[in-house]
């Protein structure tokens, strides 16, 4: 007879299984790759410890052209997805994606590793991400511990981004920046790819099947056991009365996929943001015929290639405007 310890509480195949005794078996996102020079993109990366206390690191990426550039580059701070439970900043999935994006956009990127649930339930991932962002911001005067950030980053041109849970984190940090200013860091925009937002009641044509909604609720409760539920502002910030009012940037790009169960939340986010007190620019990209994080699973498919170029263009729009006006920071 199967013991209670081996009974499955949440079957998150193909990503994880959570057992009734609290153990989690991660079925994907467990492989790590080392940093270094990527011969395909000519992007170089290195790992740096941003918090001795929680033993967490970031992976920093710079394009091969940075040493010959006369201008400092935009900075993208990236938060990986995985339902707050799987994946890392060092997995081949994210390493390959950021190599490609850094090469395409000609930017510096910082990929943040954070502690994961259930071993470290939320808000640990939010707290770690904020700590990492403060560490990055500490380089703005050029005297921080990492020379790549000191020498190559234009801190007046910063973006936050992530996919799924990482997009959720990006939104919340953009709000937190409004209340807790980071000296020297100007957040221009956020890029939310297939954002992990949810809610008790379906929106639009969102799936109404009880089994699917229960599974989504279960994943959220796994990440945040003490949550108030699926209308908790951490997972459903869109229905908060102050939504948009304190978003600390003026540009937002939301990417959704036609077959993604969370697609409608992305559209809902955009519509609510447009009708809020925010007053910035919001853009949408929808990939037809594809599912959640397809761009990571199929990076060479036409939709993924197109989306990579659109994200790079979104980041570089401000850079082009500033160069035209002669305001670009120099190395």
Residue 202 · residue 263 · CB < 8 Å? no
User: What is the chain's alpha carbon radius of gyration, rounded to the nearest angstrom?
Assistant: 19
Question: How much is the average pLDDT of 76-92?
Answer: 96
Reported as a pLDDT band with limits 50, 70 and 90, residue 29 is confident
Span 209-257, pLDDT tens digits: 999 999 899 889 989 999 999 999 999 999 998 999 999 999 999 999 9
Catalytic residue among 164, 171, 232, 290: 164
pTM of the model: 0.93
Question: How much is the average pLDDT of 91-102?
Answer: 98
Question: How much is the average pLDDT of 5-20?
Answer: 76
Residue 268: its pLDDT value, please?
97
Nearest-angstrom CA–CA distance, 183 and 174: 14
Question: What share of the chain in percent tops pLDDT 70?
Answer: 95
Catalytic residue among 95, 139, 194, 292: 292
Query: What's 286-320 look like in SS3?
Result: EECCCCCCHHHHCCCCHHHHHHHHHHHHHHHHHHH
Question: How much is the average pLDDT of 33-49?
Answer: 98
The more confident residue out of 204 and 266 is 266
Residue 146: its pLDDT value, please?
97
Say if residue 40's pLDDT is above 80.
Answer: yes
Residue 1: its pLDDT value, please?
40
The more confident residue out of 3 and 84 is 84
Reported as a pLDDT band with limits 50, 70 and 90, residue 309 is very high
Catalytic residue among 194, 260, 290, 295: 260
Say if residue 9's pLDDT is above 90.
Answer: no
Span 111-161, pLDDT tens digits: 999 999 988 999 999 999 999 999 999 999 999 999 999 999 999 999 999
**Pair type for strands 24-26 and 281-287:** unpaired
Question: 292 catalytic, yes or no?
Answer: yes
Say if residue 201's pLDDT is above 80.
Answer: yes
**Cα separations (Å) of 317 from 105, 185, 326?**
11, 18, 14
Residue 330: its pLDDT value, please?
59
DSSP lists the bridge partners of residue 251 as: 189, 281
Question: 260 catalytic, yes or no?
Answer: yes
């Amino acid at each position: 007879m199967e013991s209670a310890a081996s009974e499955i509480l949440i079957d998150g195949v193909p990503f994880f299984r959570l057992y009734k005794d609290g153990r989690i078996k991660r079925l994907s996102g467990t492989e790590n790759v080392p940093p270094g020079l990527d011969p395909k993109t000519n992007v170089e990366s290195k790992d740096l410890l941003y918090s001795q206390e929680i033993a967490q690191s970031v992976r920093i990426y710079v394009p091969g052209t940075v040493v010959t550039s006369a201008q400092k580059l935009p900075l993208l701070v990236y938060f990986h997805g995985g339902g707050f439970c799987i994946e890392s900043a060092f997995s081949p999935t994210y390493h390959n994606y950021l190599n490609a994006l850094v090469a395409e956009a000609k930017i510096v990127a910082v990929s943040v590793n954070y502690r994961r649930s259930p071993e470290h339930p939320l808000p640990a991932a939010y707290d770690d991400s904020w700590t990492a962002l403060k560490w990055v911001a500490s380089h703005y005067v050029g005297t921080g511990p990492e020379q790549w950030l000191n020498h190559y980053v234009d801190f007046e041109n910063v973006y936050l981004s992530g996919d799924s849970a990482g997009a959720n984190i990006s939104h919340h940090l953009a709000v937190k920046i409004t209340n807790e200013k980071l000296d020297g860091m100007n957040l221009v925009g956020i890029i939310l790819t297939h954002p992990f937002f949810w809610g008790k009641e379906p929106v639009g044509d969102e799936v109404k099947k009880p089994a699917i909604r229960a599974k989504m609720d279960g994943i959220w409760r796994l990440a945040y056991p003490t949550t108030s539920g699926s209308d908790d502002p951490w997972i459903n910030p869109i229905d908060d009365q102050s939504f948009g009012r304190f978003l600390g940037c003026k540009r937002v790009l939301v990417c959704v996929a036609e077959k993604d169960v969370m697609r409608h939340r992305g559209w809902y986010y955009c519509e609510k943001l447009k009708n809020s007190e925010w007053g910035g620019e919001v853009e949408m990209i929808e990939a037809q015929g594809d599912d959640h994080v397809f761009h990571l699973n199929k990076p060479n498919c036409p939709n993924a290639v197109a989306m990579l170029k659109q994200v790079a263009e979104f980041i570089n729009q401000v850079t082009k405007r500033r160069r035209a006006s002669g305001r670009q920071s120099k190395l």
